[in-house]
A and B are shown apart, each in its own frame.
Chain A
């Protein structure tokens, strides 16, 4: 059952799947962008500004999801000393960093015409800002600490501690009065976003996930080769 996590098996699986993932990505991003930018209706209040949402929301979801993965991998690596999980976390981190930056930048661009300000220190924006800082810290620690074992240990700790922030971001709009609107899509209630807007949003999320997976697999292969070369 855990055979897939063996570096060699996973490496070979990565090599064969990247090609097919690229094809899936190209099709889904064309459909997604077409729907999001051209064929989806305007919002009754925001007009065309709503189209920023189709990039902003998937990027935010992915940046949270990736940090969740980093945290879980760091935990497994820290407690059970399964080295390959640190490699997973290290490979996936820069992708999360980029998507968290995209989320913050597109959010600001949306906020100015909608709220009347680029930035405000409410619960959601502040906790998201902390996530970006955590990502930067995580990535920089890997590149600045030369000794692999100590870099692994310290980044694992950052990964696990940073996990605390994830539920705070998720529930910030429910716990505090905030400028940011509450979630439109929840597990418990029907989405408050019209289906003609929900479809492009989900397709964009799917495309971004596939893109993240492709970049992750490429980076994973690089890190494994790097790891083997440095060991010798």
Chain B
């Protein structure tokens, strides 16, 4: 090889360091996985052993036709197309919040089927298109 002997030694040391560091990070990552959830999907709520007492986030699709307004309280269903959780929310909805779109709600679980939200965040997906294209797609779908 073209490298000097000391460079070779440094490289060996570095590779050793890299391997040990990645093993350590792998273990830390595996242990932290439970604590680093940004939001739960409805399926994950179902799989939890109990109802968490602290504030949690729940994310999923807002079910089509489920949004109801009663005075200032909104009630809708968050679904992952298999499990459904009813969400109650008192406040203003973000502009992009809509049925059939994703949302993340923050608040407390009363039980595994009922969520009382204090904050609602609308999630935007990775699709960007002009309105004409969106309309064309919609028409194609309904045909």
Q: Which of A42, A79, A176 makes the CB contact (< 8 A) with B11?
A: A79
A-B contacts, CB under 8 A, total? 103
Pick the contact of A120: B7, B121, B128 (CB < 8 A). B121
Please provide the chain A residues from 101 to 126 with a CB less than 8 Å away from any CB of chain B in the complex. 113-117, 120-123
> B121 and A116: CB pair below 8 A?
yes
Selected from A75, A176, A179, A193, the residue in CB contact (under 8 A) with B128 is A193
Number of B residues near A (Cβ < 8 Å) is 36
Interface size on A, residues (CB 8 A): 36
> In residues 34-50 of chain B, which contact A (Cβ within 8 Å)?
36-41
- B130 and A41 form a contact (CB under 8 A): yes
- Which B residues are CB-close (under 8 A) to A72? none
Q: Could you tell me the dominant secondary structure of chain A's interface residues?
A: loop
Contacts of A42 in B (CB 8 A): 130-131
Check: A80 CB closer than 8 A to any chain B CB. yes
A115-B135 Cα distance, complex, nearest whole Å: 23
Task: Contacts A177-B41, A197-B130 known; list 19 others, CB within 8 Å.
Answer: A41-B132, A42-B130, A43-B130, A43-B131, A44-B129, A44-B134, A44-B135, A45-B96, A45-B134, A50-B128, A78-B10, A115-B121, A116-B119, A116-B122, A122-B38, A177-B40, A179-B38, A194-B130, A194-B133
